Amino acid sequence: MNESLFTLHQFEGYIATIYLVEYQDKVLLLDGGARRDALRIKDFFTQVLRRPISDLKLSLVSHMHPDHAGGAPLLRRRFSIPIAAHYEIDRWYRGGSGATQHILDTVLGQYSAWRQFGKFEWAWSPRRLQPDFRLYDRDKLPFFPDWLAYAAPGHTLYDMVFYQPQEKLLYVGDLIIKVGEKIVLPFPMLFPELMAESLKRMAGLAVAKLLFAHGGVLEIKDAPAFFNGLMKLVGQSQRRSFRRIEPLCSLAADVRLYKKSRTNLD
C-alpha cells in the first residue's frame, strides 16, 4: 500500500481488532472498540505511530454493542475526539427494554470474551452514544471524504460499514465475522431479511480487501461471488447454544417491532 494516501494499522483490542488509518496529517479510527481499548489506542499513538493523540480526527462506531461502542466515548471525554455513527444509533437501546438489553449485551460480551480468550476487563459503555456527526447511508465521512459510510442493518438495525473506493477496502464491523479460516454471519442476526439486503448491496461494491472487526484482514478476488455466497447462510439455523440465548438478545424495541411486523405478514 506504498502508493496509497494512507497506511493501515491494526492491533488486537479486548474483543475486536482495532484499525487506524494513518494519513500524513490526520488519523481515522475505524471503530471504537471496547472501553479500555481507548487506552490501547492512546498507547499505540505514543509508542508506535509516535504522534500526538490530537492527530486522531475522528472515531467511527459501527454499532452499539459494547465491544464497538465503548472506546470512542472515552476517547472523546479524555481527548476531545469527535464520533461519527449512524444517525439513529441512539434509538437502539431506548426505553426500559433497551436498558435491560444494554446490560445483557455487556454481560454476554464479557462472558464470551472470557470463554473464548480467557480475558476479562471492565467493558461498560454508555447507553447513548450522542455522535458528533450523524451519518446517513452513502455519506462521505467528515474530515475523510475519501471514505463512505453505508447503512448495513441485519446484526442490529443501525449497523454501518465503511468503504474506501480507491483502495477497495471495506470495514465490515459485525456484518460478517471471520472465525479461523471460516466466514460466518454474526450472532445475533436480529433482522435476517435486512441482513440479506445488506449483503446484496455489498456485492455491488468493488471490494478487494475486507477488514473484519473479528478476524483480521482478508483479500478477496471476486466480491460479488463472495457476498452472494454468504446469502445462503442467512436462512440457516444457528448453533443450538446460540438459539438458546437468542431471546436474551431480542429485547430491543426495534426487534420486537420487527418480529411483530413479520408475524402480521404471515
Report the residue closest to Zn ion, judged by CB: 65
Q: Please, which residue, 167 or 174, has the CB nearer to Zn ion?
A: 174
β pairing state of 169-171 and 140-141: unpaired
How many Å apart are CA 4 and CA 167, to the nearest integer?
A: 8
Q: Please, which residue, 28 or 66, has the CB nearer to Zn ion?
A: 66
Q: Please, which residue, 65 or 127, has the CB nearer to Zn ion?
A: 65
Q: Please, which residue, 163 or 187, has the CB nearer to Zn ion?
A: 187
Q: Which helix (H) or strand (E) holds 190?
A: none
Q: Residues near 92 by Cβ (< 8 Å), separated by ≥ 6?
A: 63, 64, 98, 156, 157, 158, 252, 254
- Using the rule CB under 5 A, is 86 a contact of Zn ion? no
Q: Which of the ranges 4-12, 82-90, 127-135, 167-175 carries the binding residues for Zn ion, by CB under 5 A?
A: 167-175
Question: Closest distance between Zn ion and the C-beta of residue 50, in Å?
Answer: 32
Question: Closest distance between Zn ion and the C-beta of residue 23, in Å?
Answer: 28
> For the residues of 12-24, what is the DSSP string, one character each?
E-SSSEEEEEE-S
Q: Please, which residue, 94 or 168, has the CB nearer to Zn ion?
A: 94
Question: Closest distance between Zn ion and the C-beta of residue 107, in Å?
Answer: 14
The residue from 22, 31, 174, 254 that contacts Zn ion (CB under 5 A) is: 174
Binding mask 44-73 for Zn ion (x = CB under 5 A): ---------------------x--------
Size of the site for Zn ion (CB under 5 A): 2
Name residues contacting Zn ion, limited to 101-140 (CB under 5 A). Answer: none
DSSP code of residue 174: T
Nearest to 150 by CA among 113, 224, 204: 204
Q: Please, which residue, 27 or 255, has the CB nearer to Zn ion?
A: 255
Nearest to 252 by CA among 96, 68, 62: 96
Please report the beta strands in the chain, taking only residues with DSSP state E, as ranges in sequence order: 7-12, 17-22, 27-29, 56-60, 83-86, 133-135, 140-141, 144-151, 160-164, 169-171, 177-179, 182-184, 209-212, 216-219
Sign of CA dihedral 44, 27, 73, 195: negative
| Interface contacts to Zn ion, rule CB under 5 A | 65, 174
